[in-house]
Amino acid sequence: MSSLIHYLQEILSWLLDALLWVPHKLYALMLDGLAAVIEAIPVPGFMANLGNYLGGLDSGVAWFAQTLQLGTGLTFVLGAYVLRFLIRRIPIIG
């Protein structure tokens, strides 16, 4: 009797794993699609000349920018703005 219960538990465990696989797979496909959409966005034209713009900075300004981690901070702020923009587009949440 206990072996029958054990087999039944294993079958139910397998069924649960199979049912949970579908949402995980859909989530992964949705993230892959979102990544493809983001990668398809073209780079703005002023980004091509960014090296020339930053090359004209004084060494003191560059040192403070590196010490204060301005690049990382700007990345966080711009990422937060993009996330806020995307969340505001969701009808139920935004």
* Region for residue 27 given its phi and psi (left: phi exceeds 0; alpha: psi -120 to 50; beta: otherwise): alpha
Residue 65 has a CB neighbour count (10 Å cut-off) of 15
pLDDT digits (tens, 9 = 90+) for 18-52: 889 988 999 999 999 988 998 898 888 877 787 78
User: Which two tokens mark 51?
Assistant: 């090296």
The pTM (predicted TM-score) of the whole model is 0.44
Those residues whose C-beta lies under 8 Å from the C-beta of residue 94, and which sit 6 or more positions away, are 87, 88
Q: For the chain, what are the domain ranges?
A: 1-41
Q: What tens digit of pLDDT does each residue of 51-94 get? A: 787 777 788 888 888 899 988 999 999 999 999 998 888 877 75
- The three-class DSSP label of residue 18 is helix
Q: Select the more confidently predicted residue: 44 or 1.
A: 44
Six-digit token string for 53: 């713009």
